[in-house]
Amino acid sequence: MRILSNELKTITPDMARYLRTDCPYDRQRPIRARKVEMLARDMRAGRFAAGTAVHIGVLDGHQAVLDGNHRLEAVIAAGIGVSFSILTVEYAGAKEMAIAYSKMDVGLKRTIRDSMRAADMMPEVISDTNFHTRLAAALRVRISDFKRSSSLEMQSILNSHEMVMAAMQEYMAEAEAYYTALAGTANRVLLYRSQVMAVALETLHYQPSGGFDFWQGTAADDGLRQGDARKTLLRWLQDNPGGNSGIAETTSRAAALAWNAHVQGRDLGILRPSSMATMHIAGTAWRGAGHPAPQLRCVAKELAIQARAADDTANATRADPARAPLRGLRVANDGRLVAVAHGVEVAHGPGPAHARHPDRPDRAR
């Protein structure tokens, strides 16, 4: 990625029309007419903030408007010129451009579905648009190791769009299986809860066949008898609404307890999530007290991304540390570069790069 220019320009309706017509981004989300109308009204009334950024990406010599399309449409609708900060950035490849697009939340916030479309991660089997949002929430539960954390490091990781996208790529096969297992059932709304889905993804990862049968049988509830762990889980979810914040912390444990009883062939008449002190999901790497939580591979991917980004700018930064182009990039006392992102420090210099995170020691999955 290389910034070519960043300048203030007045964009006329004709210029906006040219950018929209001749510089499209093929993975751009659909234009929302209502948003355009609101922006155009503000522009006519003089309420629109001048200098708002319009991001233009350049790939193989071709320009594409990555961010600002709604604003350009509004200029056309308003029929007046508006001043914008035009940022033009050259990208090394289509994937780098797609990642940059997915992180742009200026103006109208991009949904996880928008980012999935840009990254070609829209499985044909998943047609329910709500599922993608629930899946992202479930992956945040998984990334946090099924625990609520108030630490700034963990909150930064959970808010990392690229981290969630990396986790989604890692668990896409399991997500498709879960969606298929629940498709067409009345109980799928209960089982779409993020804490339940997070447990389901782990069962499907380690026990694909058994996991599919369990969640399909739970969702169908076709003649399940009282005492069946699947029936007990459904009843617990019905009695404990997902909107109750006090319940959210225990829902994943309730789902795990039901799964464990089923795998072990035990009846389960009552669910007591408080009886599970440490997450234990039978037949998986989540083995309870005394065993570390399995680490997501996407964490390593995130560190690798940060390492490459820092390496690309290492020489320039050492020559003039004050001009470091990456936020959080600094020069350590030993002369190596240290990039800080999402609470993670990645050091670069002679010898292999290494990473450190206070909550995530190196562990194999």
How many Cα atoms within 13 Å fall on the side-chain side of residue 339? 26
Q: Is the dihedral of CA 162, 167, 173, 175 positive or negative?
A: negative
pLDDT tens for each residue of 39-48:
898 888 887 8
C-alpha–C-alpha distance, residues 97 and 89, integer Å: 9
pLDDT in tens, 22-70: 999 887 778 888 889 888 988 888 878 888 889 999 999 999 999 999 9
Give residue 360's pLDDT.
Answer: 34
In sequence order, what DSSP letters do the residues of 136-152 get, joined into one string?
HHHHHHHHTTT-----H
Is residue 247 within 8 A of residue 240, CB to CB? The reply is yes
Percent of the residues in the chain that have a pLDDT greater than 70, as a whole number? 69
Structure confidence by residue, pLDDT tens digits, 222-250: 999 999 999 999 999 999 986 555 566 79
Q: Over range 183-204, report the average pLDDT.
A: 94
Is 2-108 in CATH node 3.90.1530?
Answer: yes
> 149 vs 361, which has greater pLDDT?
149
Q: What letters, b where the CB count within 10 A reaches 16 and e where it falls short, cover 352-365? A: ebebebeebeeeee
Say what the pLDDT of residue 152 is: 62
Per residue in 116-145, pLDDT (tens digit) is: 665 555 566 677 767 888 898 999 899 888
pLDDT at residue 122 in the model? 59
**Rounded mean pLDDT, 251-276:** 95
pLDDT at 330 over 70: no
Say if residues 139 and 145 touch (Cβ distance below 8 Å).
no
Task: Give the domain ranges of the chain.
Answer: 2-108, 129-275, 297-356
pTM: 0.57
Residue 273: the pLDDT is 94
pLDDT at position 323: 40
